[in-house]
């Protein structure tokens, strides 16, 4: 069997299994992955429900549709589905990259001579309990975890039991993976509407339908890189793209951030300044063509 046929079969298998978990598998050799699409709102739908259906976080769908009421967008309204991303500037050969600014996790894995990237939306720490940036390792995987309530949370909610057993009331969901520094977990959740929000005590949460897929495939010892990249740049089809996110936790000069990245990647001479200013001003969290 040829190498090309084997690769196609591997990709098809990954895409089929990921589709059931709502994630996306793409070639990691591409700087810009996925595609933007649209959805017509049905009666009674909210942006939160639509986001989960397309495996997006609340932040992503809200940024891409600033003119729509997230709770009552209205039957017949056209919703932008921002299922396209620029790969973060921290991609390892294998392992996880988490970009706090966009609230999204990327898992890079090698299959033969090919690198794939699988991506999921996440919820992260609040301003008071910010998720740390840095280089970590995955040191433990726990199926059906019990939640040992941290002392800081017990102070806030003394009515909680010290240990919450596995089940529907457990905020860790069905699976948890422990990182090497601080008591930070990547886990599921019993509150899926927190995906795409900064509401945790520092942990990283995935949709209940996403965490089993990631848990099964990421090995203990895997590298986990947590970054804060509100601006990303990349090239696709000879065109220069920029993706900018609103990160209220940081005092960011978006123009300097963008131009610095464009200079670093030798892309500035191919950029239309007006398109660049517009993309930075709107910050819709979608890759935007800023080529001349």
Task: Indicate which residues carry an active-site annotation.
Answer: 187, 203
Task: Identify the pLDDT of residue 22.
Answer: 47
Closest CA to 89 of 266, 229, 226: 229
Greater pLDDT, 16 or 255: 255
Whose CA is closest to 130, among 172, 175, 182, 87? 182
For residues 227 and 50, give the distance between their C-alpha atoms in angstroms, rounded to a whole number: 27
Which whole number is the average pLDDT over 84-88?
A: 96
Mean pLDDT of the chain: 89
CATH 3.30.420.40 correct for 3-86: no
* Band of residue 23 on the pLDDT scale cut at 50, 70, 90: low
Domain ranges for the chain: 3-86, 119-227, 231-289
Assigned token pair, 273: 């300044």
In this prediction, residue 24 carries a pLDDT of 65
For range 136-158, the mean pLDDT: 90
Residues 163-183: tens digit of each pLDDT? 889 999 899 999 999 999 778
- One of 2.40.440.10, 3.10.450.50, 2.40.50.180, 3.90.1150.10 is the CATH number of 119-227, namely 2.40.440.10
pTM: 0.89
């Amino acid at each position: 069997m040829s190498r090309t046929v084997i690769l196609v079969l591997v990709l098809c298998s990954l895409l089929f299994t990921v589709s059931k978990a709502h994630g996306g598998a793409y070639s990691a050799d591409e700087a810009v992955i996925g595609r933007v699409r649209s959805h017509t709102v049905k009666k009674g739908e909210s942006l939160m429900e639509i986001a989960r259906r397309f495996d997006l976080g609340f932040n992503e769908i809200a940024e891409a549709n600033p003119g729509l009421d997230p709770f009552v967008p209205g039957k017949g309204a056209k919703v932008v589905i921002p299922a396209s991303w620029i790969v973060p500037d921290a991609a390892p050969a294998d392992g996880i990259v988490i970009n706090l600014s966009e609230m999204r996790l990327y898992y890079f894995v090698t299959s033969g001579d090919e690198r794939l990237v699988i991506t999921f939306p996440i919820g992260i720490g609040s301003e008071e309990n910010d998720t740390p940036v840095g280089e970590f390792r995955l040191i433990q995987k726990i199926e059906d975890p019990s939640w040992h309530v941290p002392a800081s949370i017990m102070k806030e909610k003394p009515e909680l039991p010290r240990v919450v057993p596995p089940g529907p009331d457990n905020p860790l969901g069905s699976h948890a993976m422990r990182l090497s520094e601080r008591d930070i977990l990547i886990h599921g959740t019993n509150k899926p509407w927190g995906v795409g929000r900064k509401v945790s005590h520092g942990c990283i949460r995935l949709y209940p339908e996403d965490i089993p897929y990631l848990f099964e495939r990421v090995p203990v010892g895997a590298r986990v890189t947590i970054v804060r990249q509100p601006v990303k740049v990349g090239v696709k089809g000879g065109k220069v793209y920029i993706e900018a996110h609103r990160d209220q936790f940081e005092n960011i000069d978006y123009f300097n951030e963008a131009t610095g990245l464009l200079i670093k990647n030798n892309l500035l001479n191919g950029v239309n300044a007006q398109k660049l200013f517009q993309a930075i001003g709107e910050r819709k969290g979608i890759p935007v063509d800023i080529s001349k």
